[in-house]
Amino acid sequence: MRPEEERFGMAPNRSLSEEIETDYLVIGAGATGMAFVDTLLRHSGCDIVLLDRRHAPGGHWLDAYPFVRLHQPSAIYGVESMPLGRDMIEAEGWNAGYYERASAAEICAYYERVLLERMLPTGRVRFLSLHDHRGTEDGAELALSRPTGRTCRIRARRAVVDARYLEAAIPAHRPPPFEVAPGMRVIPPNALPGINGAPSGYTVIGAGKTAMDTVLWLLDHGVAPGCIRWIRPRDAWLSDRSCLQALGLAPRAIACAARSTEAVAQARDMDDLFRRLQAAGLFAALDPEVTPGTYRGALTSRAERDQMRRVTQVVRAGYVTAVTPARIEMQDGSVPTGPAHLHIDCTAGALTRRPTRPVFEEGRITVQCLWFGLTCFNAAITAYVEATRAELAEKNRLCPPCMLPSAARDWVTVRLNAMLAESEWKGEPDIGAFTRASRLNILRGLEAYADDPQLTTSMATLARHSQPARANLRRLAETA
Ligand SMILES: Cc1cc2nc3c(=O)[nH]c(=O)nc-3n(C[C@H](O)[C@H](O)[C@H](O)COP(=O)(O)OP(=O)(O)OC[C@H]3O[C@@H](n4cnc5c(N)ncnc54)[C@H](O)[C@@H]3O)c2cc1C
């Protein structure tokens, strides 16, 4: 085994050096930073310093609960230069019929290979692991080595790239955001596979993807639905996984996009919009009696939703405020509990909502969401635009950012933004070629299915309804 410094391209005691100069300093080696660096390397001759306070690339996946998987296909996740997974359609399980989804372990191993096999061999990337970015001093960026306590000063000739602006929030990183009485068992999902002995029951706290994964994991491991209680303060609209598929299943995904675009064009108001999107098969609600109020982009299959619906003890009484020895207190009520009961805190938001700012500023790039749901593709296209354009105004026109969604109505804004970005890209032949070829793009390789009658019909529907849909989205956004 090679020493850590050599494996990660660091000269021994790199952090001792007073100053490093580079073209780009990229802060954050998560999915965003890795996709950005990979594409920038391919389309420019620049030198890059990539730093992260974690020990390896991969971002939040390094600390994720062990049973997490991508909720979208691996086929469109990661970096452009290296495939993730084998583009297999799963034959069994609750994802049967859809493209495979990598586990956290696979994703972390993948990013390490990208670093070792694609980035470092270029001789143009230095990776500073375990370095915490601590701000700017006299025009230099300060990076504190966590193991040595020494500070390294980095000067970026072209830009400092903030690839942690949308850093993911995960439960394992912070204590529960509610009071926990001594002796009460409240664990993050990371600790779930380590439990010994059956508790008197399980309470899953949270309504997001982490909570859904936890419920599914418990069911998959034989826990009876009656032993699971689910505290779901706000139900979320769930996107159907068939609508975000690539390659051989892309015609089916485009059919969903066509139905949804038609629905958008015809929607009278927000309620009508979500009814229509549900009828179009894009959205589903876990409980048919409860209209969801949030949208965070979670993708689920029908089989997963059917499983989750087996849990019928759903508590909707607002956010948990305390777990006391006898009761779980919520904003609008309480339910009984006890020390023999296991509470799983799945309340971290995962998506960090921060105000948008221009992606490109003098000496600074802030990688953000352009097309919601395609995190890696957004970072790659931002890098491509940086490598191929000089003017700030032009670069910003091609990369219009949007805030990540939270309320259901935010779907309108993120969809509108994706349509805006797409129409800007369409006017640029080289970007068209880039997006068509990119493995991170859901539409990659669509030409291969040009003779598919379903695709031809869908494309015609899309062409007919795209403009009216965009106009209607604008109207809905203004009235929301
Ligand atoms: C459980 C879970 C499942 C998800 N599943 C999917 C999915 O299936 N598909 C999808 O598209 N998205 C998914 N997401 C969303 C996810 O946020 C993105 O896919 C992506 O991983 C985010 O990458 P990132 O690089 O923006 O953030 P992160 O992974 O959080 O990486 C940011 C990096 O910046 C580093 N950093 C932050 N501050 C500093 C500093 N001061 N100095 C040095 N380094 C710093 C951090 O250490 C971290 O490594 C999921 C999120 C979660 C939490």
> What are the backbone angles phi and psi of residue 433, rounded to the nearest 5°?
-65, -40
- Contact, 186 vs 326, CB < 8 A? no
Q: What's the gap in Å between 96 CA and the centre of ligand 1?
A: 27
Q: What's the gap in Å between 352 CA and the centre of ligand 1?
A: 9
Question: Which residues belong to CATH 3.40.50.720 in the chain?
Answer: 4-167+353-407
Dump pLDDT digits (tens) for 266-316: 999 999 999 999 999 999 999 999 999 999 999 999 999 999 999 999 999
In CATH terms, the superfamily for domain 169-235+294-350 is FAD/NAD(P)-binding domain (3.50.50.60)
Dump pLDDT digits (tens) for 52-93: 999 999 999 999 999 999 999 999 999 999 999 999 999 999
Q: What is the pTM of this model?
A: 0.94
Q: Whose CA is nearest to atom 2 of ligand 1?
A: 350
pLDDT the model gives residue 9 = 56
Three-class DSSP category at 37: helix
Three-class DSSP category at 229: strand
Separation CA 433–CA 318 (nearest Å): 48
Q: Whose CA is nearest to atom 22 of ligand 1?
A: 31
Please determine, looking at this structure, whether the domain spanning 4-167+353-407 carries the CATH number 3.40.50.720. yes
pLDDT the model gives residue 13 = 45
pLDDT band at residue 12, thresholds of 50, 70 and 90? very low
pLDDT the model gives residue 443 = 84
Question: Which residues belong to CATH 3.50.50.60 in the chain?
Answer: 169-235+294-350
Closest CA to 173 of 159, 189, 158: 189
Shortest-distance atom of ligand 1 to CA 165:
26
Q: 85 CB under 6 A from ligand 1?
A: no
Ligand 1 mutation pick, 61, 115, 136, 167, max ligand atoms within 8 A of CB: 167
Dump pLDDT digits (tens) for 143-186: 999 999 999 999 999 999 999 998 877 767 788 999 999 999 99
Answer yes or no: is pLDDT of 416 > 60.
Answer: yes
Structure tokens, 272 = 């009508």
Answer yes or no: is pLDDT of 480 > 80.
Answer: no
Dump pLDDT digits (tens) for 308-348: 999 999 999 999 999 999 999 999 999 999 999 999 999 97
Q: What's the gap in Å between 69 CA and the centre of ligand 1?
A: 14
Per the model's pLDDT, the better-predicted residue between 18 and 426 turns out to be 426
Q: Whose CA is nearest to atom 48 of ligand 1?
A: 59
Shortest-distance atom of ligand 1 to CA 60:
29
Closest CA to 170 of 319, 37, 66, 50: 66
Q: What's the gap in Å between 24 CA and the centre of ligand 1?
A: 20
Q: 206 CB under 6 A from ligand 1?
A: no
Shortest-distance atom of ligand 1 to CA 131:
43
Separation CA 435–CA 450 (nearest Å): 17
**DSSP result, 265-329:** HH--SHHHHHHHHHHTTSEE-SSTTS---EEEEEEE-HHHHHHHTT--EEE-SSSEEEE-SSEEE
110-120 average pLDDT score: 98
**CA atoms 224, 204, 107, 39: torsion sign:** positive
Q: What's the gap in Å between 150 CA and the centre of ligand 1?
A: 26
